[in-house]
Chains A and B, each alone.
Chain A
């Protein structure tokens, strides 16, 4: 963990194992998550992310080891007494209730008056941007709205730990790309094929960062394209679909760089090219849709690559 501040530990795993019959689902999980920390579990499907969340929430017991939440061993604490709330992957919105009945579901034993509870529900709905949706039937909501109801339903109970299972699956693609700009090279690598170009940071002035990217040249980036420092060697990341080969007399709308094709991977409707940029040893992969009249190019062909500075992300 890179968090070294003195915030108290909220969740602690000590050698947690979980077996389903012969299947060893969790294999010795260790680690701590601090209060206020935003902690993400990443991994291919079936690797145990949901299982781990469910052991924290108390829906699954563990075969051995200890899970502590806020300094308390959770082994004998049932799910309904744990200081955790979960936003399920399916959202688990109660279909027979209205939006406000869903959000107020956990307040039954709350000692506050009916009016105060109704106010808390309204505030929770406002927080997730669903003000005025309280009387709607839950089944009349869109996927994204359901997710926000599920979020409000958990947050209204002020849990010490909020668990979100696959929280990005409901966002539409555009919104996802907007929200899901990776923060470190490691994450970027995980999310998908990404090209990394070594870079030098020339200057950083308020909301502008100027970098010299090998093979691409000098680029001015917006601070939004440069997530917080993670202590990595500075690199510029570009996704293959943001790069385009220019044919004949096509002109780049923003920037272009010369290159030489090193590898051609033909995929039916797509061709992937690995291209050395601007006479350097920096290689990027780009993808081109195969359309009639656009030949698949050979290895060694000199090409021009169009790219857009706004598609770059600086990892440092």
Chain B
């Protein structure tokens, strides 16, 4: 008995070992290194003992660190909000108003933006938002001053990120909408509620697991987005990832950069946990 369970455990280990080795070497080891670096004494291009919390203390002392952290979180929250608000109606339309045999075609169409490189899509936003771009030309044709939206760095970052992540948000919401028993919506109306009230009282609560999944899928990568601020705002409005890059690669300050990385990881984890706890009545417990 003990022998069989032991051999079962062995074969289980064998099965997961490729993934486990991959995860350990490429995720756990670098993560441990970053955490270790963050409590070592750093200098220009050097890292050495003794252990110290000086790197973390620096984060508290200099307001620029807190500002960048807060700015990144706010940008990510706004992007997440916009993305969900845009993605929900799309998912709703495909789930409720598209004929069943056409649904896969629609989902396929939603993924079309991914056929083009993200870098190219970001560059194309300049054509739309930049000085003399599509938006400004349209405004000029009706006699309005050009806006040159691209010069507002944070606004541009939000627009570009929201566009980039919308398709990711559609899919989890779509899946949760597909699972809603349509007779529940009829029951809501049968009991005297309007379509809108039925939506807010039945459909939306039942699809919250999908919304929560979408929020996490969008929020976590946008907080740490590197490419968009770099390209769209030309580095004028650095977010967390850009700042870490500056610390690690430009200033060669591994200890400070690592402390910043660990802190931002903790912040994101805390925000996600708070969000999940606030919505825990929607998660699980349903058949």
Q: A residues near B, CB below 8 A?
A: 57-59, 78-81, 84-86, 88, 90, 92, 94-96, 105-106, 108-109, 137, 139, 153-154, 157
Contacts and interface: CB of A to CB of B under 8 A. Distances in A.
B146 to A, nearest CB: 48
Nearest to B188: A105
Contacts of A96: 205-206, 282, 286
A81 B186 CA distance: 13
A139 to B, nearest CB: 5
Interface centre among A90, A95, A109 (most CB of B within 10 A): A95
Contact of B181 (A59, A90, A154, A157): A90
Given A92-B184, A139-B285, A154-B190, 20 more contacts: A57-B190, A59-B189, A79-B186, A80-B193, A80-B194, A84-B190, A85-B190, A88-B183, A92-B183, A92-B187, A94-B187, A96-B282, A105-B188, A105-B191, A105-B201, A106-B192, A108-B197, A137-B285, A157-B191, A157-B192
A103 to B, nearest CB: 10
B26 to A, nearest CB: 40
Interface centre among B191, B202, B285, B287 (most CB of A within 10 A): B191
Contacts of B190: 57, 59, 79-80, 84-86, 154
B186 A106 contact: no
A95 B187 contact: no
Contacts of B187: 86, 88, 92, 94
Interface of B: 181, 183-184, 186-194, 197, 201-202, 205-206, 282, 285-287
A157 B191 CA distance: 8
A90 B286 contact: no
8 contacts: A86-B186, A88-B183, A92-B181, A95-B184, A106-B192, A108-B193, A139-B287, A153-B191
Contacts of B188: 105
B192 A109 contact: yes
A86 to B, nearest CB: 5
Contacts of B201: 105, 108
A79 B189 contact: yes
B186 A80 contact: no
A175 B201 CA distance: 35
A59 B186 contact: yes
A90 B286 CA distance: 16
Nearest to A86: B190
Interface centre among B181, B192, B286 (most CB of A within 10 A): B192
Interface centre among B184, B206, B282, B285 (most CB of A within 10 A): B184
Contacts of A79: 186, 189-190
A80 B192 CA distance: 4
Contacts of A154: 190-191
Contact of A94 (B186, B192, B202, B285): B202
A83 to B, nearest CB: 10
B96 to A, nearest CB: 15
Contacts of B191: 80, 85, 105-106, 153-154, 157
Q: Which 5 A-B pairs have the closest CB atoms?
A: A106-B191, A92-B187, A92-B183, A80-B189, A79-B189
A175 to B, nearest CB: 24
Given A108-B197, A137-B285, A139-B286, A95 B189 contact: no
Nearest to B190: A86
Nearest to B187: A92
A109 B192 CA distance: 9
Contacts of A86: 186-187, 190
B194 A95 contact: no
A77 to B, nearest CB: 12
A157 B202 CA distance: 19
A79 B185 CA distance: 11
A60 to B, nearest CB: 10
A316 B282 CA distance: 57
A102 to B, nearest CB: 9
A59 B191 CA distance: 12
Contacts of A137: 285
A92 B282 contact: no
Contacts of B205: 96
A184 B18 CA distance: 71
A192 to B, nearest CB: 29
A92 B180 CA distance: 11
Nearest to A110: B192
Nearest to A139: B287
A208 B201 CA distance: 55
A95 B192 contact: no
Interface centre among B187, B282, B285 (most CB of A within 10 A): B187
Contact of A95 (B186, B193, B286): B286
Nearest to A159: B190
Contacts of B194: 80
A78 B189 contact: yes
B210 to A, nearest CB: 13
A88 B188 CA distance: 12
Interface centre among A84, A88, A92 (most CB of B within 10 A): A92
A84 B188 CA distance: 13
A90 B186 CA distance: 12
A92 B182 CA distance: 9
A106 B187 CA distance: 10
Contacts of B184: 92, 94-95
